[in-house]
Amino acid sequence: MNRIVRKIRPSDYWRIGEHESWFQDMAAQGLHLKKMGKFFAHFVKGEPKKMRYRIDVSMKKKISSEQIEMYAESGWDYVTSYQYFQVYSSPEELDAPEIHTDPAEQSYTLTELDKKLALNAGFVVVAFLLIVGMMSSVWFLDGTPIYVMIDGGAIQQTILSIFIAYLAYTSLQATLSIRTLKKDLIAGKAINHHAPWKKRHRLNSTLAFLLTIVVGLSAIIPFMQLYKHETKTLPEGNSDLPIIRLADVEQNPALVRGESEYMSDNVDWSNRYTSSWSPFAPVQYEADENGVVPGKRWADGSGEYSPSITSIFYQLSIPSMADHFVADLIEWYRYNDSLDNYVKTKHPSFDQLIIHEDKEYKEVFASKGKNVIFVRYNGYAGMDSVVKAIEEKIN
């Protein structure tokens, strides 16, 4: 039984001369073309032979038996079809006449293919431009590209956009190449049946392989994020979580947990923490906590004193991203507050410390090495108490 050998096929299916040359070189090594798959060319292992291969263009899905017989009578045996191309072979010693003897006449066989590829390229390019617009809004509309990267939600879509860009590029390349070939044929320049193929094939195969690996790995990201994403009720006592607790800031033994405003799936969403993951921040925690000090009231008489805190922690994969990430965090969470209200403060325990205070409302953005913490606190404890709690946790 003849053994089938599979070879990665050249991705540039429209380069007729290079394919003919490749098939001939394979036959000289004893690999004779049997069929062209989507990703691989299938060869039958046999004796090395000097073969000639020619590729004819037809927009018909199925070649007629009459045409196969006509070509066979001229010494060309039908081998296989792929895309819009039919492959014929003939032993070199047979010295069969060329399938197309007039380049100008052969150019007419490319007319319909030229129109088809141009239409396809137009659709792909328009789709690509729409995707570029959509992804640009995701990454840059809020002016926080580092935040978007570290959050990780748009990474897979971006990689898929790059893949679509590659498809758009190859579609344009196919259109331009066939159009150029048609012009050359009209000018009387015949196809080079021995066109060099090794360098381009090696480059394209490497690029396609790497792109496939990257796209494949990116498909894992949403599953990892789903697997790592978990929300639980925040324990009332101390925990090993890298977040700032309300008790760490208030330092008041009378502080108790406030009543839950919303319960779902056995989670107290007023007092919860969520763990997340992304490639650029494999450790992420976000927590909300609300408390009450019985007998103490807000100064404006609005009710019982009920401080609250939101604490977000990131451990980055690349520590050098921390400074830019802090800037994006401020942009993301400042809403309508002026940037002038966010004051950069020197502190020996932090690489970066930025504070924002408006009466009982306080925000702190801090980084140390690969750790970044954001805290939003609403209560009467001083800013020093918030910073000290972050200092103890971040170190």
Q: DSSP string of 86-143?
A: EEEEEEGGG-PPPS-S-HHHHHGGGHHHHHHHHHHHHHHHHHHHHHHHHHHHHHHTTS
Can you tell me the distance from the alpha carbon of 287 to that of 247, in angstroms, rounded to the nearest whole number?
14
pLDDT at position 350 over 70: yes
Q: Are residues 151 and 58 in the same domain?
A: no
224 found inside a domain: no
Rounded CA-CA distance 344/357 in Å is: 12
Same domain, 296 and 359: yes
Q: Are residues 171 and 70 in the same domain?
A: no
In terms of domains, do 126 and 19 share one?
no
Q: Which of 100, 120, 136 is the last residue of a domain?
A: 100
Question: Is residue 89 domain-resident?
Answer: yes
Residue pLDDT, tens place only, 28-80: 999 999 999 887 899 999 999 999 999 999 888 788 888 899 999 999 999 99
In a domain, 358, yes or no: yes
Residue 312: pLDDT band by 50, 70, 90 thresholds? very high
- 78 plus 153 within the same structural domain: no
Last residue of a domain, one of 168, 186, 219: 219
Mean predicted confidence (pLDDT) in 250-273 = 89
pLDDT band at 367 (very low <50, low <70, confident <90, very high): very high
Q: Are residues 183 and 328 in the same domain?
A: no
Rounded to two decimals, what is the model's pTM? 0.76
Would the pLDDT of 345 be above 90? yes
The CATH number assigned to the domain holding 326 equals 3.40.1000
Long-range pairs for 90-95: beta carbons < 8 A, 24 or more residues apart: 90/51, 90/52, 90/54, 91/49, 91/50, 91/51, 91/52, 92/49, 92/50, 92/51, 92/52, 93/50
- The whole-number average pLDDT for the span 368-381 is 96
Looking at the fold, whether 285 and 347 belong to one and the same domain comes out as: yes
Beta bridge partners of 232: 273
Flag whether 26 is in a domain: yes
C-alpha span between 292 and 306 (Å, rounded): 4
* Domain presence at residue 390: yes
Q: Is residue 12 a contact partner of residue 166, using CB atoms and an 8 Å limit?
A: no
**Whether residue 1 has pLDDT greater than 60:** no
Q: Give domain status of residue 278, yes or no.
A: yes
Question: Mean pLDDT score of the chain, rounded to an integer?
Answer: 91
From residue 189, alpha-carbon distances to 87, 101, 176 in Å are 21, 11, 17
Asked if residue 85 is part of any domain, the answer here is yes
Q: Which of 100, 130, 159 is the last residue of a domain?
A: 100
Sheet holding 31-36, edge to edge: 4-8, 40-45, 31-36
The reply to whether 167 and 288 lie within a common domain is no
CA distance 85 to 58: 6
Total tally of structural domains belonging to the chain: 3
Same domain, 239 and 374: yes
Q: Name the residue range of residue 175's domain.
A: 109-219
Residue 137 in any domain: the answer is yes
| Least confident among 99-103, 129-133, 212-216, 313-317 | 212-216
Q: How many CA atoms lie within 13 A of 196 on its CB side?
A: 4
Least Cα distance to 169 among 161, 157, 180 occurs for 161
Q: Which tens digit of pLDDT belongs to each residue from 203-212?
A: 888 887 888 8
Q: pLDDT tens digits for 167-217?
A: 888 889 999 999 999 999 999 999 999 999 888 888 888 887 888 888 888
Answer yes or no: do 277 and 189 share one domain.
no
* Mean pLDDT value of segment 254-273: 88
**pLDDT, tens only, 227-250:** 999 999 999 877 789 999 999 999
Model confidence at 135: pLDDT above 70: yes
Do 179 and 89 fall within a single domain? no
Lowest mean pLDDT among 11-15, 87-91, 334-338: 11-15
Q: What are phi and psi of 369, to 5 degrees?
A: 60, -120
Cα 4 versus chain centre, distance: 35
Examine the pLDDT at 311 and tell me if it is beyond 80. Answer: yes
Looking at the fold, whether 275 and 382 belong to one and the same domain comes out as: yes
